[in-house]
């Protein structure tokens, strides 16, 4: 249940919000935000300390921005940066709770959650914080008269595993809650309802109502579609959906994963973004006078997004595993192409009248950081609108059937994608130089770890034979 503060009653001291939370039995408040990877990090505080936290924020060690996914070794500051990480001794940064994000966590007794932005001690924005990167892009959109609206679809697997069982298995031995895939299959969906219904009810109580859900093309793979919303709340909800799904699965003795491709013989998991711009309360992508219903704004947004897809791929596919998913006939975007209601292209145009005309960015995997994926998509599209960039011709047919080289392929591995991002003037201008250089350093650290890893494939192929 959301607990939005009354803007006419909520004061700087936070008394009203605290009173409302106490009235609902809240004793503990989670104050948290997203790290670079999209992992939710924060602290639990007693409700008595929330008013102070709303005024002053809470301290978290800057090292959360230097952690690799497995947290075994921190990443150093990018070359030329002396104000981050080891160079300044890992000081505190300030997590500033956003009262508009307050909600009850129904599966924890007496608990509420608020999401945070991050600043330095002096109050200046922290350029590494994904939520704040997106907030800055949204501010740029509003300065141009647009309100970005986003609907997010996320796919994930639910495994009949635990952290301990996964550690003792090869990937090919992972067991899902369903043996057989059946995309949109009602029977298979019904077999998963023991978990699925509890999940939906908990998400509803968490104010994350799922518009629709269905089995996907992998065994035990589900898709959940969130309602469309202004860009920052939409990304907030996607981040919280991922956290909620994992927590609720764990409570049922299961393990949920948004990893792009958990097994080589299973389809990948995606994160599709449905994006539009509104101006004056109307869909700026819709043009009733146009034969295809698409406005010049929509076309130019598409032009900017398509032009920037290669250089922003490292954000939409952030791990080496992400690229296992990006193959032909996989329903994943492998080319910077677009088409009307075409799921083989990178950007699908949906022309659905004055309230439903939008672009679906299909490149992202389930492993994306929602804030960064939305920020990159909006930045590219808004740059296209600003520059008057016309898109290429709409593609009709099956992109996967084209011969190699017929259209530009997107980067096929994280190393290539990271190099493209590092050289991107657009990313530096819209997402921030410090953020881009930090993100590039994080990707290269991930690649360095991967390069030294002995994989199950190598062991099974070479151990006995050689």
For residue range 69-125, list pLDDT tens digits in order. Answer: 988 878 877 777 756 666 677 889 999 999 999 999 999 999 999 999 999 888 888
Percent of the chain topping pLDDT 70: 95
Final residue in a domain of this structure, among 104, 126, 148: 126
- Residue 258: the pLDDT is 98
- Tell me, yes or no, whether 62 and 94 share the same domain: yes
- Tell me, yes or no, whether 295 and 378 share the same domain: yes
> 457 lies in a domain?
no
- Tell me, yes or no, whether 141 and 122 share the same domain: no
Span 311-332, mean pLDDT?
95
What does the pLDDT look like over 346-359, one tens digit per residue? 999 999 999 999 99
The Cα 114–Cα 116 span in angstroms is 7
What does the pLDDT look like over 239-278, one tens digit per residue? 999 999 999 999 999 999 999 999 999 999 999 999 999 9
- Residue 86: the pLDDT is 66
Q: What is the chain's mean pLDDT, rounded?
A: 93
Q: Which residue has the higher pLDDT, 71 or 320?
A: 320
- Residue 331: the pLDDT is 87
Final residue in a domain of this structure, among 61, 93, 126: 126
Domain of residue 37, residue span: 15-126
- Tell me, yes or no, whether 66 and 31 share the same domain: yes
- Residue 3: the pLDDT is 57
For 10-24, 361-375, 390-404, which range has the lowest pLDDT when averaged over its residues? 10-24
> 2 lies in a domain?
no
Q: How many residues does the chain have?
A: 466
- Tell me, yes or no, whether 30 and 56 share the same domain: yes
> 53 lies in a domain?
yes
- Tell me, yes or no, whether 286 and 305 share the same domain: yes
The Cα 421–Cα 386 span in angstroms is 21
pTM of the model: 0.95
Of the candidates 313, 304, 359, the one whose C-alpha atom is nearest the C-alpha of residue 334 is 313
> 55 lies in a domain?
yes
- Residue 125: the pLDDT is 82
**pLDDT above 70 (res 300):** yes
Whichever domain contains 116, its CATH number is 3.10.20.70
Count of structural domains within the chain:
2
- Tell me, yes or no, whether 119 and 141 share the same domain: no
What does the pLDDT look like over 164-173, one tens digit per residue? 999 999 889 9
Of the candidates 310, 307, 285, 317, the one whose C-alpha atom is nearest the C-alpha of residue 383 is 307
Final residue in a domain of this structure, among 126, 159, 187: 126
- What string of H, E and C letters represents the secondary structure of 330-360? CCCCCECCEEECCCCCCEEEECCCCCCCEEE
> 8 lies in a domain?
no
> 354 lies in a domain?
yes
Whichever domain contains 373, its CATH number is 3.30.590.10
Q: Which residues contact 56 (CB under 8 A, 6 or more apart)?
A: 94
The Cα 274–Cα 297 span in angstroms is 16
> 447 lies in a domain?
yes
- Tell me, yes or no, whether 102 and 185 share the same domain: no
What does the pLDDT look like over 418-434, one tens digit per residue? 999 999 999 999 999 99
Span 15-29, mean pLDDT?
95
The Cα 267–Cα 219 span in angstroms is 9
- Tell me, yes or no, whether 310 and 244 share the same domain: yes
Strand-pair partners of 67: 74
């Amino acid at each position: 249940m959301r607990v939005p503060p009354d803007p006419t009653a909520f004061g700087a001291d936070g008394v009203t919000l605290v009173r409302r939370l106490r009235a609902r039995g809240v004793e503990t408040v989670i104050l948290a935000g997203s790290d670079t990877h999209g992992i939710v990090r924060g602290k639990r505080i007693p409700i008595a300390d929330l008013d102070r936290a709303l005024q002053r924020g809470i301290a978290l060690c800057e090292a959360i921005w230097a952690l690799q996914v497995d947290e075994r070794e921190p990443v150093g500051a990018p070359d030329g940066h002396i104000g981050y990480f080891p160079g300044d001794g890992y000081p505190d940064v300030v997590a500033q709770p956003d009262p508009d994000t307050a909600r009850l966590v129904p599966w924890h007794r007496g608990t509420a959650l608020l999401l945070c932005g991050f600043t330095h001690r002096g109050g200046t924005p922290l350029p590494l914080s994904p939520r704040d990167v997106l907030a800055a892009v949204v501010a740029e959109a509003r300065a141009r008269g647009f309100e970005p609206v986003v609907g997010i679809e996320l796919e994930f697997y639910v495994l009949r595993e635990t952290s301990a069982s996964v550690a003792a298995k090869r990937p090919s031995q992972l067991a899902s809650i369903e043996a057989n895939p059946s995309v949109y299959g009602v029977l298979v969906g019904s077999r998963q309802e023991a978990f699925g219904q509890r999940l939906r009810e908990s998400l509803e109580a968490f104010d994350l109502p799922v518009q629709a859900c269905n089995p996907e093309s992998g065994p035990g793979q589900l898709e959940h579609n969130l309602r469309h919303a202004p860009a920052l709340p939409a990304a907030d909800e996607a981040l919280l959906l991922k956290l909620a799904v994992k927590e609720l699965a764990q409570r049922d003795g299961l393990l949920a994963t948004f990893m792009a491709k958990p097994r080589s013989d299973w389809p990948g998991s995606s994160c599709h973004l449905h994006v539009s711009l509104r101006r004056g309360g109307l869909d700026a992508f819709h043009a009733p006078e146009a034969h295809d219903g698409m406005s010049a704004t929509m076309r130019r947004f598409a032009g900017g997004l398509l032009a920037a897809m290669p250089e922003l791929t490292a954000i939409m596919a952030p791990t080496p595993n992400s690229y296992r998913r990006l193959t032909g006939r996989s329903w994943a975007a492998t080319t910077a192409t677009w088409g009307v209601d075409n799921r083989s292209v990178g950007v699908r145009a949906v022309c659905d009248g004055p309230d439903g005309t939008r672009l679906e960015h299909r490149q992202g995997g389930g492993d994306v950081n929602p804030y960064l994926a939305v920020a990159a998509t909006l930045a590219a599209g808004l740059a296209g609108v600003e520059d008057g960039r016309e898109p290429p011709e709409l593609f009709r047919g099956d992109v996967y059937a084209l011969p190699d080289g017929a259209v530009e392929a997107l980067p096929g591995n994280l190393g290539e994608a990271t190099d493209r991002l590092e050289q991107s003037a657009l990313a530096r201008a819209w997402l921030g130089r410090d953020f881009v250089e930090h993100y590039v350093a994080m990707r290269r650290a991930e690649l360095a770890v991967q390069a030294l890893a002995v994989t199950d494939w190598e062991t099974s192929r070479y151990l006995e034979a050689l």
